[in-house]
Amino acid sequence: MQAVVLDANALLLPFQFRVNLEAELRRLLGEHEILVPSAVLDELKGLARSLREARSALKLAGQFQVVDGTGEADDAILEAASRLKAVVVSNDAALLRRLKEARIPRIFLRSRSHLVAEGL
């Protein structure tokens, strides 16, 4: 089963772009397990004070397994993906660049309507 690590903006996709995250991941990867670093939850909690979509994303994140990570959210995502040989879902250009440099497979939003995979 393929491990998938989500960042904060991946968790926001269903609420900002009406993308069915689970269905898109199933289409791209088949059977998978979604993981959320604890640092990503902390980031969403901070955003939830002012952004309604972040409150919804936080509820969505509660459905998935939380993994411990150290440091900032992006560092925790990179560490978890490396350790677990996971694919990362993100729409953050800087994080996607770091993932590509580290040769970690990534999934991101294309045309505001569907997810695409790179590096699988």
- pTM score over 0.85: yes
pLDDT tens per residue across span 32-55: 999 999 999 999 999 999 999 999
Decide if 5 contacts 83 (C-beta within 8 A).
no
Domains plus CATH for the chain? Answer: 2-118 (3.40.50.1010)
Asked whether the CA dihedral 108, 2, 40, 73 is positive or negative, the reply is negative
pLDDT band at 10 (very low <50, low <70, confident <90, very high): very high
| DSSP annotation string for 45-110 | HHHHTT-HHHHHHHHHHTTSEEE---SSHHHHHHHHHHHHT-EEE---HHHHHHHHHTT--EEEEE
